């Protein structure tokens, strides 16, 4: 997929040299003024999407992120609520944290980290449930210039170990246990196991584990390493000067799955990311002072970073942090929380909407939801049926629904309907399932597989032709992988990995990933990761994993497994392998369907033809396409006959 040189497009040659955005319609320097700089930048974007790829924004500016999210609101608004925390169990008390209180807590946490030896530039791994301390810890890192790497609390010890090792963290912040849907998650135990795995390899860089007490469970304790957060924080001051940071200093690393190999560390930097998170939070949600804003994501994902923590707090919003799940203690939980805290803006994922839609209207109608003004969707394509239900039932037909398309790599929303300039209205006609239009300052193109730009109504591959401030800067410690993954398919463009259709009105419809990345309930997973988890079981000889359409999850995991000679294929073995993959990666990777495959369809050069496996998993056996190039076409017949998705 190389883009041919085409001078008629103009941009190819033009794009070879780094240039600033003076020619674009948005003045990013002006946008950057929405945040407080210690030293104002004089340059906006300076970037090249050609190798060597380099991306910089506001490079001569200096700032501190925690100052922007907390301190600058204090003179006038100290007593406004920054965080509302709603616990997993509705019988437990919720919390309201003002900006004044947030300031004290963030300063304390920053001092605890300093006392434990964390220095500017150090990587700190967070493995926390959805508790206020997660927000404190993230902001505390930014206060002292440490780089956080938040690992979703649903990931296994193996997954944490890999992430700690990749970024060489010296400190881990966790909790004794997490609570979700009434179930306890043994977070500290998982950290202990991860550190053991690392020690066994001689790769344990962690000197301290800071433990927040959430459930009070009895946990194993290593006194040279483990410290209780509540004990340490009682001993430090609540004043910690914010560290001046350069705009391009690293802010955080967030691991995400790609189509090959292990998850990559997406690196975001300080100035551009914050400007973009704040800018998009305002443009898309039209946030007005005093409103209660609720994004149901987890801080372990980019949505939690940009739209629970950084965007809302930079904009002095009241942001709700929810520990629980939509179905506990019952399927009215979301709507109950909306009434309880008078939520105005609600931002969730299609998978949750589909699951709740299945429960009918009654659990929704039990609550008034009168406070709602706007509904948002994120994480995966939203099917028109779910969109319409969301709009008609949850929003009573009066709230606009914005479908926001973006990625871990983009830092913030790139395509979505936006509020009007005065923040009061949305486009009258919003199409169910369309992400609609790019935000001001975002320039997408749709290309065919040859790299030709498709104009007008068209379907193809989604690329972005110019940088924006929230764009990732590199893969942590692997710039070559960054260039290879995003900038080699089509020279001069950022390749998103998504397919896209643009309709005659110019609205964009995201059709889903075109690479080997799965989107399971809005969670991103690489097929290669799941396959390597399977083959780490000694009984498995080969594994091939594909996605298939799933009513609730959007996509489910379908695995074709070849066992080693002499191993008997049984239902018990399927259950064990399912459990094994959960253990290696985490519950989000639980395979839905396992099919025994005596052989896999391979080309003569040994490459697995996933196209065929996808069609079988989708039960579209009429359209398997040409199988004559396979080394052994007869394997297909067996797979079709024994498919599990009939
Ligand atoms: O395929 C797209 C899908 O989620 C991918 C990005 O996943 P992740 O980095 O985990 O970030 C998720 C939250 C931003 C994209 O490549 N995706 C995300 N939002 C949408 C979407 N697909 C369709 N419509 C969306 N609104």
Per-residue pLDDT reduced to its tens digit, 415-465: 999 999 888 889 888 899 999 999 999 999 999 999 999 999 999 999 999
Give the number of other Cβ atoms within 10 Å of residue 629's Cβ.
12
* Entry pTM: 0.94
Q: Which of 235, 212, 245 is nearest to 108 (CA)?
A: 235
What integer pLDDT is reported at residue 301 of this predicted model? 98
Q: Please identify, by atom number, the ligand 1 atom nearest to the C-alpha of residue 405.
A: 26
Residue closest by Cα to atom 15 of ligand 1: 407
What integer pLDDT is reported at residue 629 of this predicted model? 85
Residues 273 and 342 reside in one and the same domain: yes
Burial string for 345-371 (b: 16+ CB within 10 Å, else e) reads: bbbbbbbbbbbbbeeeeebbeeeebee
Asked if residue 315 lies in contact with residue 278, where contact means CB atoms within 8 angstroms, the answer is yes
Residues 111 and 163 reside in one and the same domain: yes
Asked if the model's pLDDT at residue 645 lies above 90, the reply is no
pLDDT (tens digit per residue) in 94-142: 999 999 999 999 999 999 999 999 999 999 999 999 999 999 999 999 9
CATH code: domain of residue 577:
3.30.300.30
Q: For residues 456 and 150, what is the distance between their CA atoms, to the nearest angstrom?
A: 41
What integer pLDDT is reported at residue 128 of this predicted model? 98
Q: Which residue has the tokens 């319609």?
A: 25
Give residue 48's pLDDT band: very low, low, confident or very high (50, 70, 90): very high
Averaged pLDDT for residues 52-77: 98
Asked if residue 247 lies in contact with residue 63, where contact means CB atoms within 8 angstroms, the answer is yes
CATH code: domain of residue 160:
3.40.50.980
User: Residue 148 domain-assigned?
Assistant: yes
What integer pLDDT is reported at residue 424 of this predicted model? 82
User: Residue 232 domain-assigned?
Assistant: yes
Averaged pLDDT of the chain = 94
- In the chain, how many domains are there? 3
pLDDT (tens digit per residue) in 483-516: 999 999 999 999 999 999 999 999 999 999 999 9
Q: Which of 272, 174, 263 is nearest to 476 (CA)?
A: 263
Handedness of CA 448, 453, 456, 461 (dihedral sign): positive
Averaged pLDDT for residues 387-412: 97
Asked if the model's pLDDT at residue 244 lies above 80, the reply is yes
Q: Does a cis peptide bond (omega within 30 degrees of 0) precede residue 475?
A: no
Please list every protein residue whose CB sits less than 6 Å from any atom of ligand 1: 256, 302-303, 378-381, 403-408, 435, 496-498, 510, 512-513, 519, 524
In 258-416 the beta strands, taken as DSSP E runs, fall at: 264-269, 292-295, 318-322, 345-348, 374-378, 401-404
Tally of CA atoms within 13 A in the half-sphere of 484 that contains its CB: 10
Residue 626, domain extent: 521-642
Q: Which strand (E) or helix (H) includes residue 584?
A: helix 571-584
Residues 110 and 190 reside in one and the same domain: yes
Q: Please identify, by atom number, the ligand 1 atom nearest to the C-alpha of residue 404.
A: 26
Asked if the model's pLDDT at residue 52 lies above 60, the reply is yes
Asked if the model's pLDDT at residue 32 lies above 70, the reply is yes
> Nearest 5 degrees, angle CA 345-CA 350-CA 351?
125
Residues 548 and 448 reside in one and the same domain: no
If one residue of 387, 418, 524 were mutated to test the ligand 1 pocket, choosing by the most ligand atoms within 8 A of its CB, it would be 524
Q: Which of 185, 186, 190 is nearest to 161 (CA)?
A: 190
Residues 216 and 280 reside in one and the same domain: no
Residues 6+ apart with CB under 8 A from 482: 53, 472, 474, 475
pLDDT (tens digit per residue) in 313-360: 999 999 999 999 999 999 999 999 999 999 999 999 999 999 999 999
Asked if the model's pLDDT at residue 543 lies above 60, the reply is yes
What integer pLDDT is reported at residue 18 of this predicted model? 31
Q: How far does residue 500's CA lie from ligand 1's centre (Å)? A: 12
- % of the chain at pLDDT higher than 70: 96
Averaged pLDDT for residues 258-284: 95
Q: How far does residue 189's CA lie from ligand 1's centre (Å)? A: 31
Q: For residues 392 and 388, what is the distance between their CA atoms, to the nearest angstrom?
A: 6
Q: Which of 607, 620, 589, 554 is nearest to 380 (CA)?
A: 554
371 secondary structure, DSSP code: T
User: Residue 389 domain-assigned?
Assistant: yes
Asked if the model's pLDDT at residue 260 lies above 90, the reply is no
Q: How far does residue 187's CA lie from ligand 1's centre (Å)? A: 27
Q: Which of 480, 515, 550 is the last residue of a domain?
A: 515
User: Residue 3 domain-assigned?
Assistant: no
Asked if residue 152 lies in contact with residue 178, where contact means CB atoms within 8 angstroms, the answer is no
What integer pLDDT is reported at residue 17 of this predicted model? 30
Strand partners, 517: 526
Q: Does a cis peptide bond (omega within 30 degrees of 0) precede residue 6?
A: no
Residues 289 and 403 reside in one and the same domain: yes
If one residue of 406, 500, 509, 511 were mutated to test the ligand 1 pocket, choosing by the most ligand atoms within 8 A of its CB, it would be 406
Averaged pLDDT for residues 248-262: 93
pLDDT (tens digit per residue) in 139-175: 999 999 999 999 999 999 999 999 999 999 999 999 9
Could you tell me where the DSSP H helices lie in 453-503? 479-487
């Amino acid at each position: 997929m190389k883009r041919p040189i085409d001078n008629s497009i103009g941009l190819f040659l033009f794009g070879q040299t780094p240039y600033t955005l003076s020619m674009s319609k948005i003045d990013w320097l002006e946008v950057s003024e929405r945040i407080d700089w210690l030293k104002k930048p004089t340059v906006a974007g300076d970037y090249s999407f050609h190798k060597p790829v380099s991306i910089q924004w506001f490079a001569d500016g200096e700032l501190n992120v925690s100052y922007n999210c907390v301190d600058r609101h204090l003179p006038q608004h100290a007593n406004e609520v920054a965080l509302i925390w709603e616990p997993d169990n509705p019988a437990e008390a919720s919390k309201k944290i003002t900006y004044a209180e947030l300031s004290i807590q963030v300063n304390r946490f920053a001092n605890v980290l300093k006392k434990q030896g964390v220095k500017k530039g150090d990587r700190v791994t967070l493995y926390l449930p959805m508790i206020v301390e997660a927000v404190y810890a993230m902001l505390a890192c930014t206060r002292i210039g440490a780089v956080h790497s938040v690992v979703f609390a649903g990931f296994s010890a193996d997954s944490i170990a890999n992430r700690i090792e990749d970024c060489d963290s010296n400190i881990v912040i966790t909790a004794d246990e997490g609570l979700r849907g009434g179930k306890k998650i043994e977070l500290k135990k998982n950290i202990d196991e991860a550190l053991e795995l690392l020690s066994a390899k001689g790769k344990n860089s962690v000197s301290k584990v800071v433990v927040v007490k959430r459930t009070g469970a009895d946990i194993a304790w290593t006194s040279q390493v483990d410290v209780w957060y509540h004990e340490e924080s009682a001993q430090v001051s609540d004043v910690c000067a914010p560290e001046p940071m350069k705009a391009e200093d690293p802010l955080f690393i967030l691991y995400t799955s790609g189509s090959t190999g292990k998850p990559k560390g997406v690196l975001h930097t300080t100035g551009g990311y914050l400007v973009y998170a704040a800018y998009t939070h305002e443009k898309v949600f039209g946030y007005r002072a005093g409103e209660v804003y609720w994004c149901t994501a987890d801080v372990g994902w980019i949505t939690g970073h940009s739209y629970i923590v950084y965007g809302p707090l930079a904009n002095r919003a009241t942001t709700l942090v929810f520990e629980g799940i939509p179905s506990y203690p019952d399927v009215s939980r979301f709507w109950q929380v909306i009434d309880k805290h008078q939520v105005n803006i609600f931002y969730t994922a299609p998978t949750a909407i589909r699951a709740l839609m299945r429960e009918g209207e009654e659990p929704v109608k039990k609550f008034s939801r009168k406070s709602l003004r706007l509904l948002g969707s994120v994480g995966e394509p939203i099917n028109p049926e779910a969109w319409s239900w969301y709009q008609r039932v949850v929003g009573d037909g009066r709230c606009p629904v914005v479908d926001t398309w973006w990625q871990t790599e983009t830092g913030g929303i790139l395509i979505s309907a936006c509020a009007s300039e005065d923040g009061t209205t949305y486009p009258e006609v919003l199409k169910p399932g369309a992400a609609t239009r790019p935000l001001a300052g975002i320039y997408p193109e749709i290309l065919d597989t040859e790299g030709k730009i498709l104009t007008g109504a068209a379907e193809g591959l989604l690329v972005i032709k110019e940088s924006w401030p929230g764009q990732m800067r590199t893969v942590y410690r692997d710039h070559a992988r960054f260039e290879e993954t995003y900038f080699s398919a089509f020279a001069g463009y950022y390749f998103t990995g998504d397919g896209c259709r643009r309709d005659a009105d110019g609205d964009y419809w995201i059709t889903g990933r075109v690479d080997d990345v799965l989107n399971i309930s809005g969670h991103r997973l690489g097929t290669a990761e799941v396959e390597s988890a399977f083959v780490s079981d000694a009984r498995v000889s080969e594994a091939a994993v594909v996605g298939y359409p799933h009513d609730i999850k959007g996509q489910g995991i379908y695995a074709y497994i070849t066992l080693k000679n002499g191993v008997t294929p049984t239902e018990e073995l399927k259950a064990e392998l399912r459990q094994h993959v959960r253990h290696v990666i985490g519950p989000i990777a639980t395979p839905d369907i396992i099919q025994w495959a005596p052989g896999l369809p391979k080309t003569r050069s040994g490459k697995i033809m996933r196209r065929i496996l996808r069609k079988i998993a989708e039960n579209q056996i009429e359209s398997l396409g040409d199988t004559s190039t396979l080394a052994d076409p007869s394997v297909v017949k067996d797979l079709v006959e024994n498919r599990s998705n009939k």
